[in-house]
Structure 1
């Protein structure tokens, strides 16, 4: 079963990175929108300015640093007058001193100010998107780790809920020397300076509006890549940190490092793959993910006999004389709805688990539980009959088709689709895509088991 749980951990990290990519796509839209706004404004200045008296790029760059405020036009004129007088320079000087060109310079100065305003807006939106995503990611990582541990051991031991303050403390950590919000600010501020410089180069070297648009779009594309790198790396850290906190909550003292082994895997992650470390001695960048930007590595709990014994004692219900059980094939959504969302206390007690579930069968309770009874009638995949596995595959294939229809025509399945905000619509689409990935993984798990039995016909 160890191979299964390694695959499960790898799949969980894959899902987290897929969600991070979805969030990065939303942020990339912000950058594309900002780029289009700046390009549109720049065209008003450059569309009729196709000068033939171009300065060299080196000369243009020398003028840039002094060309940042309302009075800098005078400094620029003085710079040109003090240079060797060539025909091109004289023509440029004459044009710069013309009233019409002064008006264009003023528009350029307003454009430079607009760049700052646009990038401030980009920063605020990116930080808001990222923070919301990181909070959800961290909570999911905590509960999914406990869920996997209970499925792995089959024990329904008690655990603490993760609260907002706990997540916020993790999000405030300067694990790499600088908080992610400051990194976002630095990225957007650097991009603003680069864009302003490129606009000035366009003015001084005579770039056409099309060339200017291409350069601006390219620079914003670079900014979007930096934003994506930040989201992916910070996602790995926050998920890993809440996983470690879940380990502590479960009493797990050791973890095993797991690298995603393919041609893109870094040397350091390959070397750490399979190594076992103490949870108390974990350190991101040293022996715990992320080891580097874009890191895709994860960890898996290393449960020894002593830890398992503690979990068993924690799951024991003295009233019934039984140990609370969590079925190995209970889905995460069902587990979360019952033991996290459905429990209003700060602690999820072993008593409630033992009373509600007995050997995989739901007992009568005062409140009806919305759960799939067939799943509780089944046991671990390894112990399920082939017919049951095949029925489950057909069920998941049907669910995949349903969700694909949701994506193809959301209005037909969501009556208030047009009333939802764009971010809500994108969130639903991400959820449907994630469900499809989950269903595909569930199908693959059952196909693998059928193949091992020699009972898979395709």
Structure 2
């Protein structure tokens, strides 16, 4: 039995490395989405100051006079173009509408409406990217478990949606994306206000803005890797439970990749055995922390042969 378990543990660690490569590919896509939004926002700010600032400085009185001449119809066309070209989700359209109706459509607020359109597009594209990737991660993990355990097993659409959209530590991944966008928008508002009202040179704000976008990129990558681990663990748990529903003694092994990046938490849990019925992400299963790379493997003890012989057929989660 020891040789069999060693084989499955080794196989699981090899799969962890493969999944890391997939995660990084999607993380790169998220980086491109965020950097594109940053470029568009910096372009909007540059155009704004090129048209309305003198000698790289602007007084409150001059700003009020010049920005009041800003073309409202131009913004309306920009917003309409975004809605048409980006195929916004209901959430994104709601964000645009709610924010726009709160603004006075004058002076710096109009510039912020331009910038907000770029931010909403950025967040919405991130959400769509996450949704597609996490759903596929859940499907792939169920299929992988079916191959490991040599059974036919599928996951229903409703179960998959519940798994992907589940809250983790009191928030869903989509809520975290929109919350980060709102935080970025608030910081943008401060930067624009400082430049127009207080006469702070815009280059100082641009530097801060680049740093804030770097934070958004980092948090998007962290969220992707952590949430992918959660979905994959959830798919494992569903598979284990479906296959061992009549066996309260069924167990799984916690598997961590041991290297210089391994946290003390996962290193301590590596090789530990837990009951399938007690499996809980964040407690005794991945993700135990942000960027968690750990996984699990069902313990294939002496009960395996008879158990599966009695349960031939298709399993539906």
| TM-score computed with the length of structure 2 as normaliser | 0.77
Unaligned stretches of 5+ residues in structure 2: 71-104
Name the residue aligned to 1:15: 18
Cα 1:94/1:108, change in 2 over 3 Å: closer
CA distance in structure 2 between the partners assigned to 1:94 and 1:166 by the alignment: 58
1:41 maps to which of 39, 44, 49: 44
Cα 1:52/1:137, change in 2 over 3 Å: closer
* 1:245 lines up with 2:212 in the alignment: no
Cα deviation, residue 96, structure 1: 5.3
Cα 1:231/1:94, change in 2 over 3 Å: closer
Determine if contact 1:35/1:217 at 8 Å carries over to the other structure.
yes
* 1:207 lines up with 2:201 in the alignment: yes
| 1:53-64 mapped onto 2 (5 Å cutoff) | none
Which of 1 and 2 has greater Rg? 1
| 1:306-455 mapped onto 2 (5 Å cutoff) | 306-314=303-311, 347=314
1:274 counterpart SS class: coil
Determine if contact 1:258/1:273 at 8 Å carries over to the other structure.
yes
| 1:150-165 mapped onto 2 (5 Å cutoff) | 150=150, 158-165=151-158
Cα deviation, residue 175, structure 1: 3.0
2:170 counterpart SS class: coil
CA distance in structure 1 between the partners assigned to 2:69 and 2:43 by the alignment: 18
Determine if contact 1:49/1:206 at 8 Å carries over to the other structure.
no
CA distance in structure 2 between the partners assigned to 1:93 and 1:216 by the alignment: 22
CA distance in structure 1 between the partners assigned to 2:60 and 2:202 by the alignment: 19
1:187 counterpart SS class: helix
Cα deviation, residue 286, structure 1: 1.0
Task: Give the root-mean-square deviation of aligned CA atoms.
Answer: 2.5
Name the residue aligned to 1:195: 188
Which is bigger in relative contact order (C-alpha 8 A, separation at least 6)? Answer: 2
Q: How many aligned residue pairs are there?
A: 271
Cα deviation, residue 16, structure 1: 2.1
Name the residue aligned to 1:260: 257
Determine if contact 1:115/1:196 at 8 Å carries over to the other structure.
no
Moved over 6 A (4+): none
Cα 1:235/1:94, change in 2 over 3 Å: closer
Name the residue aligned to 1:128: 128
Cα 1:7/1:107, change in 2 over 3 Å: farther
CA distance in structure 1 between the partners assigned to 2:254 and 2:180 by the alignment: 31
Which stretch of the first structure deviates more once superposed, 101-110 or 277-286? 101-110
Deviations 1:149-196 (A, max 9, x none): 33xxxxxxx433222222112123213211222111111111111222
2:289 maps to which of 287, 292, 295: 292
* 1:26 lines up with 2:26 in the alignment: no
Determine if contact 1:159/1:250 at 8 Å carries over to the other structure.
no
Cα deviation, residue 93, structure 1: 5.8
Deviations 1:185-237 (A, max 9, x none): 1111111112222232333343244x443332222221121111111111000
* 1:236 lines up with 2:224 in the alignment: no
Name the residue aligned to 1:110: 110
Unaligned stretches of 5+ residues in structure 1: 54-91, 151-157, 316-345, 349-458
Cα deviation, residue 271, structure 1: 1.1
Name the residue aligned to 2:99: none
1:257 counterpart SS class: strand
CA distance in structure 1 between the partners assigned to 2:280 and 2:126 by the alignment: 27
